[in-house]
Amino acid sequence: SLLGAASGAIGQFNSRDDYFKGIVQNQYESSWAEMQNSLTGGTATAANREVTELAFATLLGDKDKATGWLDELQDFAAVTPFSFGDLTSMSQTLMNYGIKDSKQQIGWMQAIGDAGSATGLSGADLTMLAAYLGRMNSTDKVSLEYLNPLMERGIDAIGYLADNLGTSKDAVYEMISKGQLSGIEASKLIVEKMGEENAGAMDAISQTYSGLTSTLEDNRAQLDAAMGKGYMETRSKGLQE
């Protein structure tokens, strides 16, 4: 009977041992799969950033400036409800229309981001706003072709101009048809009014569940990208050889 009891105890121990081994194995496999996914995603993000840096280096005429500017945009993305991709797209659009000063760009993106947050616009819509405002600024012309897309997205551009000029909206439409308004001044005014009327909207959205989720995803992407960059640099040396 002692032999039987000992045999039973050993059997229970082995079963328990196998059970715990199974738990450890599952945890290891799960952690390994998660790390592999992070590395794969991070490498793709790092590779995309490398291409983006080259594009901005062309726009700014300097690789170091491009790297520094993208670092600023990454920090900006980490505290806003918009992604790094949304902001780089908007920034690139503004640069294409001659708005390259970093301080001016941040001001414009802050105003456009606040207006977009207040009216529920998507990242693509923000780039669209930047494009039409940029065109207005670069051509120094005010036309309904540039203003209507803003109005359709909840930006009262005509109202802003009318208030500033102390006149009616109908009068502004007439001035536009006669080409009497400066696109540089009008775009600057619209951006300022967008910022004033919607100040704090982006920050408020960033504190909501969806905004916090977006911020968490951006920060996680930065961590994955750092790991991916290290892997990519080592791998690239091998590929070159």
d(C-alpha 153, C-alpha 115), whole Å: 10
CB-CB contact of 193 with 160 (8 Å):
yes
The pTM for the full model equals: 0.69
**Tens digits of residue pLDDT in 199-223:** 988 888 777 777 677 767 777 777 7
Closest CA to 47 of 233, 241, 239, 218: 233
The mean pLDDT value of the chain amounts to 83
Query: For the segment 18-66, what is each residue's pLDDT rounded down to a tens digit?
Result: 666 666 676 666 655 565 665 565 666 667 778 888 888 988 888 899 9
Beta bridge partners of 47: none
CA 28 from chain centre, in angstroms, equals: 34
**Coil, strand or helix: which one is 72?**
helix
How does pLDDT run across 131-188, given as a tens digit for each residue?
Answer: 999 999 999 999 999 999 999 999 999 999 999 999 999 999 999 999 999 999 999 9
Q: Which of 126, 231, 205, 111 is CA-nearest to residue 160?
A: 111
Residue 121 DSSP label:
-
pLDDT given for residue 197 in this prediction: 93
- The per-residue pLDDT for range 102-139, each reduced to its tens digit, is 889 989 999 999 999 899 888 889 999 999 999 999 99
d(CA 75, CA 107): 15
Please tell me the predicted confidence (pLDDT) of residue 236.
73
